[in-house]
A and B are shown apart, each in its own frame.
Chain A
């Protein structure tokens, strides 16, 4: 079943003087998807969101919402909903009036407005605060009202600009669950901006990783995590060990710099040139400590233990290779690990399928 394309961004570019905020962005959202724009400050994620909302005019490129070209449509005629980080609730209107405002703008009859406002409030579990003013509500409540206001008129897309940034940790986690729940109930299309990895990982169908105005990689969380396309993606999401080396055979044999272990195997594409400089990306939890000798399929290295950090259910090990490269390993705590001390020599291993190869630019 092919889902329709709800949002289409093609070739959008935006500069501020000599600063390139967005560089040829191409992006498509299917109906009902939850896509997160994730990246560091200055990556362009908020700029892209604002462009979709219409609050910023792109220098070039086009945007379609629900099949309609809206690049030049004024803000108030687009069918988008937006939730701001600072809520942007109108202080001089009650909660009911706030939520009813977009319906008023669409000339919905009064009786229907009252009904739909009630439904919207019920969906965010705040039915009893209708007659209050925003400043009488807590931060979390205000954010839920802001969400209620953004969904009451059933826009094609809901945009969220770091909506949970102003909330404390516990509230944030709670709200993440609520937003996800709303997303499922309404089957809404959501474009979400955040710099918080965990938030992105837990809420999104797809993550769009952005850096310096362009999209580095877009895909489901698993894909980006286990198959990052480049160094930025590998290091931004979670911890990663990057081992420099080069490709020495088409079967996937690699030589790691400064280490003379042979038979390190990785997954490579068919059409690579021999001698290409690469990084081997190894996630800490894929490293096995002192694996069985008999298991021939594993890649192995001899390492020295620098430090062991027992963190409850997981133990982090800081290891050092023969040529002084540092590696981080994360394992479930067990007896074997507890016996490891600093300066101990041990071997580590990992499955070839558990690591990944990316280009290394020098």
Chain B
């Protein structure tokens, strides 16, 4: 049951990367060749770009964590969870290129924010918000908050409400309770989110390219250019390997200190070595001391405030908190809704307010066979990827959740790898490997690559549903006379269906929205939608792209809505 999963990932993920590794470090004529790595590590230009990449990734991570935490906290402790979650995840469901275009419409010289500020006479001339460092940060933060919120929420909802209540009865103030009880318990979700956001941010290139200036070029773009213009495998491979080691290093250190449970969802069986225990105790002692300090500090401040104005301070606190939350939600959701008006404007640029009223962008783009074929191809590739990834990932998840066997931890890390590591590494590894077997530019090649990326999503989604499954139901079915296959077909699968469909949907979205791998593995006239949008955007971002974005957004939302309706149980008499 695990076999196909492991084989697939080996063939399509680990082996190509290993091959690239070899190509970077080994030259048939010279033997071990460290020249590429050496050049990368010593050339100033590259070092500058790498340092800016890490700098941006770290800043983004920090901002994302700080903003996502209150959102996740609010959702986890409120009643209308599901609808709020959907709201937050809405940007998630839209193509990230779409989101970048939305920000361009908002932040541009003629964009909504500038027009609003000038209209309100807060500024006289347009602020430079796009093509700046700040623009890049805004775009990346916006793109990554949903992921952080989801990770932290998944962790927070398992913190029993009763713990806070008992802390209150024991005499702890709200502030103290938060810092000494709630925060430590939510911490593993925070660190997991931070790790994933950081690594994914490292691999970003579209956002900085479209929203930033030349100074904000991130390392992945360098790789892309390198291979598109000069086919310099050695250097490109060297950069990719460097990124790989950085990411792996981060994961390794993380795993040693925190364990990967919060990331993968799987309980780890830790062997406690002396060093681990020492680090663990030290970290714990430091952490507790720190929290005591912070707790007392904020408690002191809040008590002081209360003494000054008791009732107002309480109200201010509550309002402030809710207010912050709604501001953040607006930040997440508004960009989507800017796109529609922009898409029906007559102007050639993304500007606000939109001039005129026309649907010609829709007709010209959707009437264009190249676009139609790209959309169709994306859809087909995504569907096939979704199916294969689900078929492979589902049995793998079952084994991983229900059985115990040696090397399980390693296997779980292996299977999660494609999700955690930057796509660019796989993209160029596959490009190189495919070029040897003539798979470049084929739909099959793309499907194979995308499936490798999608499998971890399916495994993690299905296993989280599986973990909550009551195995006594299977046992009862067996006792009632159902042979194993019938048990699976009539009982297990129907009850797991929602998890399986969620996994399929994740796989589908991952493939449909994927740019990096598609950029390298497709070629010539054969193109996917993201690739076409990217190429078009590099040229000039026109309202036509906004039109496409609106349609994709609408289709996905309708699909989601339909899915939710179908899931509702039949009405009873």
Contact = CB atoms under 8 A, between A and B. Distances in A.
Interface of A: 53-55, 74-78, 80-82, 84, 86, 88-92, 101-102, 105-106, 131-133, 136, 149, 153
B480 A102 contact: yes
A53 B481 CA distance: 11
Given A105-B486, A133-B569, A133-B572, A80 B479 contact: yes
A76 B472 contact: no
Nearest to A146: B476
A106 B481 contact: yes
Contacts of A132: 572
Q: Which of B472, B483, B491 has the most CB of A within 10 A?
A: B472
A149 B487 CA distance: 16
A26 B494 CA distance: 41
Interface of B: 470, 472-473, 475-484, 486-487, 490-491, 494-495, 569, 572-573
Contacts, number: 66
A105 B491 CA distance: 13
B572 A76 contact: no
A89 B472 CA distance: 9
A175 to B, nearest CB: 19
A76 B495 contact: no
Given A131-B573, A132-B572, A133-B569, A84 B480 contact: no
A84 B495 contact: no
A150 B480 CA distance: 7
Contact of A75 (B479, B490, B491, B573): B479
A76 B476 contact: no
30 contacts: A53-B479, A55-B479, A74-B478, A75-B475, A76-B478, A76-B480, A76-B481, A76-B482, A76-B483, A76-B484, A77-B481, A80-B479, A81-B479, A84-B472, A86-B470, A88-B472, A88-B476, A89-B476, A90-B473, A90-B476, A90-B477, A90-B491, A90-B495, A91-B495, A92-B495, A105-B480, A106-B481, A131-B573, A133-B572, A136-B572
B475 to A, nearest CB: 6
A84 B483 contact: no
A133 B572 CA distance: 8
Contacts of A81: 479
A78 B478 CA distance: 9
B482 A101 contact: yes
Contacts of B470: 86, 88
A185 B255 CA distance: 61
Nearest to A161: B472
Contacts of B477: 90, 101
A131 B481 contact: no
A76 B487 CA distance: 10
A317 to B, nearest CB: 41
Contacts of A149: 480
Nearest to A53: B479
A137 to B, nearest CB: 12
Contacts of B479: 53-55, 75-76, 78, 80-82
